[in-house]
């Protein structure tokens, strides 16, 4: 049995990674301050084959992080203040959690002799470079504080790989969606926001013309990439795109939700938001070559599964484990 830490493990992506590790029979420690995560996301985990331990703590607090990394074989670092708009509103908090918190974690991993850290980065580091698809060798060009913090985390992972022997692997996520993704914050991602609005028979708020496109990536693909990144001998110190290699517009998302929920959806167009990128599309050939990564769930199937989840849990306010 191997032992892993998942920071932000009570959140959307982190809880799915923790669940997959437990299903394999691993020992999983979750560190989360519950500022955006929820214990509901961990419901039922004690019935899975592995062993789960929950620590409530803050990645910016050295003592919390030191306790969390003690005795683990690897770390999946998902804890972050996400959202471009949030970072535009409050860049200091985003920097504090995403940069200082990541550095505190890497220091603790160095001291505890943790072998590898898989770090959740973001496609936002590419900025508004019009080149498509995005290849990892493109020069980063962040246009939001959030993107800048994610890029700095990548740099620290590379530095700790070179200087201290903590193998950092950075995964640039492209618009992850799926079950357990919360619509409750004003900074929530587009898919859960649209789901919640549609189920309340409210118009879907679209910023701009709705033709802006994203490489929407279902959660199971992201989980698979994380597990592969932890184990691949070729991955240390490298950066990989994690996506499907296909793009869909925001209007496509609205259409898929209407179809999946069997509802007529109305649209409310609002001005475009500062810091938003027009189009994204990933080249995933490097992840295929080094990690053996292959998207398992296409956009249409992922949207169907997500609609089924939201419909099944409508009105309860909870996000139980699948």
What is the distance between the alpha carbons of residues 254 and 251, in angstroms, rounded to a whole number?
5
Q: How far apart are CA 129 and CA 140, in angstroms?
A: 9
Strand partners, 105: none
To 5 degrees, how large is the angle CA 112–CA 113–CA 114?
A: 95
Q: How far apart are CA 59 and CA 105, in angstroms?
A: 7
DSSP letter for each residue of 218-244? EHHHHHHHHHHHHH-TT-TT-EEEES-
Is 218 among the catalytic positions?
no
Of the listed 4, 119, 146, 156, which one is catalytic? 146
Q: Where are the beta strands (DSSP E) in the chain?
A: 3-7, 27-32, 51-56, 74-77, 116-122, 167-173, 176-177, 204-207, 213-214, 217-218, 239-242, 248-249, 267-270
Catalytic residues: 146
């Amino acid at each position: 049995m191997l032992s892993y830490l998942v920071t932000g493990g009570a959140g959307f992506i982190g809880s799915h990674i923790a669940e997959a590790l437990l299903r394999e029979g691993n020992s999983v420690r979750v560190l989360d301050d519950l500022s955006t995560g929820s214990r509901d996301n961990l419901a039922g985990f004690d019935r899975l084959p592995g062993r789960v331990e929950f620590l409530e703590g803050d990645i910016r607090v050295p003592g919390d992080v030191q306790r969390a990394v003690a005795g683990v074989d690897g770390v999946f670092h998902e804890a972050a203040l996400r959202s471009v708009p949030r970072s535009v509103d409050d860049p200091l908090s985003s920097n504090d959690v995403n940069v200082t918190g990541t550095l505190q974690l890497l220091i603790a991993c160095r001291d505890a002799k943790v072998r590898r850290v898989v770090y959740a980065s973001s496609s936002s580091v590419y900025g508004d470079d019009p080149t498509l698809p995005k290849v990892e060798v493109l020069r980063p060009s962040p246009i939001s504080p959030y993107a800048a913090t994610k890029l700095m985390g990548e740099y620290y992972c590379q530095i700790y790989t070179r200087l201290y022997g903590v193998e950092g692997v950075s995964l640039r996520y492209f618009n992850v969606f799926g079950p357990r993704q919360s619509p409750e914050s004003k900074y929530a991602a587009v898919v859960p926001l649209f789901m919640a609005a549609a189920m309340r028979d409210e118009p879907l708020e679209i910023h701009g013309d709705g033709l802006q496109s994203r490489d929407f990536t279902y959660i199971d693909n992201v989980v698979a990439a994380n597990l592969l990144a932890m184990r691949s001998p070729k991955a240390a110190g490298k950066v990989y795109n994690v996506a499907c290699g296909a793009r869909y517009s925001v209007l496509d998302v609205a259409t898929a939700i209407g179809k999946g929920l069997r509802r007529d959806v109305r649209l409310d167009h609002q001005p475009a938001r500062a810091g938003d990128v027009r189009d994204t599309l990933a080249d995933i050939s490097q992840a295929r070559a080094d990690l053996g990564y292959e998207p398992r769930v296409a956009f249409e199937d992922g949207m169907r599964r997500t609609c089924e989840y939201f419909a099944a849990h409508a009105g309860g306010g909870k996000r139980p484990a699948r």
